[in-house]
Every structure is written in structure tokens, then in C-alpha cells.
Amino acid sequence: MPHFSVVPGAAVSAILGEAHKDVLRIVAETYVAHEKGQSVNPDSYFLRFPEKPNARVIALPSYLGGDVDTIGIKWIASFPDNVRQGLPRASATLLLNDYATGYPLACLEAASISAARTAASAAVAAAQLLPPDGPVRVSFIGAGVIARTILDYLDAHGVRIADVLVHDLDATSAGHLTAHATERLGVPATGGSLPEALTRDLVVFATTAATPYVSGDTPLRPGQVVLNVSLRDLEPELLLKTNNVVDDVDHCLKAQTSPHLAEQLTGSRSFIDGTLGALLQGRVTLDPAKPTVFSPFGLGILDLAVGHHVLAEARRRGTAVDIPDFIGETTRW
């Protein structure tokens, strides 16, 4: 009978703070495993509230085979109004279950896991899509925890950053991200306007926007890479002029994301060029005369894979808290 563990946020953060390379490897391997059919990743479930239309809690159940061979579900709350109180927008837990018996194995604080897997996904895509030579000029539209973590993972993945421009409606948030870039990573950074941000080699959207505000006539250029992490910033007409890579077609084309709006506009999915997993396998051909947009809806298997690693490391370090009597009955009779 497996024993049950709780891994608190401090322990998770300590592990992830030293595991950027591991997380990047795990995320890339998980995308390829998903592409090979070694996972079960059903639709996410959105819990919404009539009196809080901008808030939601999402359940992401999944199973990943191979060496992980574990079931999991992330339960993540997104409450944008928290930011006004100086609180993080998102909070999350991750529950892991044993695949052999179905019994629960662990509960992990997962906001940092979610941020890390999101950032690693963005960094893996950027490294695949950007030209290998020379430094790139990067902009962030939205300057919260996700943006900061993406910046860290771009650096950890060896993306050579010439400088950073930050655009955020909240000047304080923008200032924090520019300071992080210069003080922690040694990268020149400044604030700037949205039009300025849209000219950079690598454009990262990490906002809480619910509807598109970037015009379909925005003049993106060939070879430019856009990480559409927040998914709802771009008018669908813009996507019809770009290469489009997603994490999973069925998952990404729903919930009124920009790719979903593009599908509704055209009645077709033909504007999608492929998935990141297929790109990592060398099976996606992109038009070099177009910019490229990567739109990751976010797969539960990524949280599961990273959480599996964190649990093993926490147990090795002795920072997982065992609950010996969590499972009440250990025999049928």
C-alpha cells in the first residue's frame, strides 16, 4: 500500500529553484510522449462564478505512461483581482495517484509547478522557433509571475537575450520585471509601449486579457516569434497570416482562445501547422516568409510530469511530509 505525502510550497520552490534544466528536459520529453500517444489528457473543466466573471478554477486530469506511469489532477484557481491586493493571481494543488491501484500518493502545492511547466513550455518552443545564431530582442506584454518565470527559463535554456522591453498596464509590475531582468539576469531592460513591444524578435504575451485587443492588421515580420501564452490577446485575423504551432490542437481550439476564434472565423483548422511535440520530432514544416505564433493551452500531463519529479526529489531530501494514516482502510475485509 503506497503511503501518502504532502509537499508544501517551500519545499516545491526549493526544488524547482535548482531544477530548471531538469524541468526543460521533462517538458520536452512529455510533449514527445504525448505526440506518441503515451498519455491520457482529457478536456480541462472550468468552474466559473456568476458574481466573479473574471475568476475561474480549472481541473486538469491526466495520465502519463513511461517512467512516470502516474495519474494526476491539477486544481488551479485564477483570481485576477488578487493582484490589487498584492497577492498572486493563481494558486494550485496537484494530486497524484498510483496507476497500479488508483490510490492517492501525494498532494503538492502546485502554483510554482504550474508556472515552471508553463515557462519551460514557452522556452522549449522559443528555442525551436528562433534562429540559432545571435542574441534576440525580447518583449513581455504582461509582467506577472508567469512572465518572470518565462524569462528565467529562456535564460536557463540558453536563449541569448540582447535586451528586454516590458509593457504592462500596471507600472509597478512592469518595474518589477525590468528590475528582475537587469539585477538577476544581467540583461538590459526597459518599459515601453504596446506598439514597441510588438516589434521585437520574440514577443511574449502573459496577460489576463479575456478578449483580443491586438489588431489583425498588426505588421508582424517574417521570422518573428510570438509566444501566445495568455491565448486571448490576438485577433483571429492575425493568426491567419502566421505559422501556427499549438501544444494540442483539440485542447487549444476551445474556450474562445485566439486559435478557437480563428477556427470559428474560417470554419477550418487548416491554419494550424502542427504541434510542439511534432516540431520537436522534426515533423513540422514552417513557412520562413511568415512570423510564427506558438499557442499553448496548457496540458495537465506537464504538471503531472514535473510534479512526479518534485515528489521524488522531496522524498529524497526528506522535505515531503508523510501522512501515515491518510488512507483509512488498507484491507478489503
Model confidence pLDDT, tens digit, residues 204-231:
999 989 899 999 999 999 999 999 999 9
In this prediction, residue 162 has a pLDDT band, given cuts at 50, 70 and 90, of very high
CATH number for region 129-295: 3.40.50.720
Q: What is the pairing mode between strands 4-7 and 104-109?
A: parallel
- CA–CA gap between residue 315 and residue 247 (Å, rounded): 31
Q: What is the pairing mode between strands 90-98 and 104-109?
A: antiparallel
* Average pLDDT of the segment spanning 43-48: 93
Which residues on adjacent β-strands are paired with residue 43?
A: none
Q: Taking the CB of residue 223, how many other CB atoms lie within 10 A of it?
A: 15
Which residues on adjacent β-strands are paired with residue 226?
A: 203, 293
Exposed/middle/buried for 239, CB within 10 Å: 0-12, 13-18, 19+? buried
For residue 3, the model assigns a pLDDT of: 82
In this prediction, residue 19 has a pLDDT band, given cuts at 50, 70 and 90, of very high
- CA–CA gap between residue 321 and residue 108 (Å, rounded): 10
Q: Taking the CB of residue 222, how many other CB atoms lie within 10 A of it?
A: 12
- CA–CA gap between residue 65 and residue 184 (Å, rounded): 37
* Average pLDDT of the segment spanning 67-82: 96
- Number of helices and strands in the chain (H, E): 11, 16
Is 80's pLDDT higher than 70? yes
Residues 6 or more apart in contact with residue 250 via CB below 8 angstroms: none
Is 276's pLDDT higher than 90? yes
What does the angle CA 129 – CA 135 – CA 139 come to, to the nearest 5 degrees?
70
For residue 2, the model assigns a pLDDT of: 65
Chain centroid to CA 103: how far?
28
Is 1's pLDDT higher than 80? no
Which residues on adjacent β-strands are paired with residue 4?
A: 323
Is 124's pLDDT higher than 70? yes
**What is the percentage of the chain residues whose pLDDT exceeds 70?**
99
**More reliable by pLDDT, 131 or 74:** 74
Considering only CA atoms, which of 121, 65, 135, 81 is closest in space to residue 304? Answer: 65
Question: CATH 3.40.50.720 spans which residues of the chain?
Answer: 129-295
Considering only CA atoms, which of 126, 142, 144, 166 is closest in space to residue 233? Answer: 142
CATH number for region 4-113+300-323: 3.30.1780.10
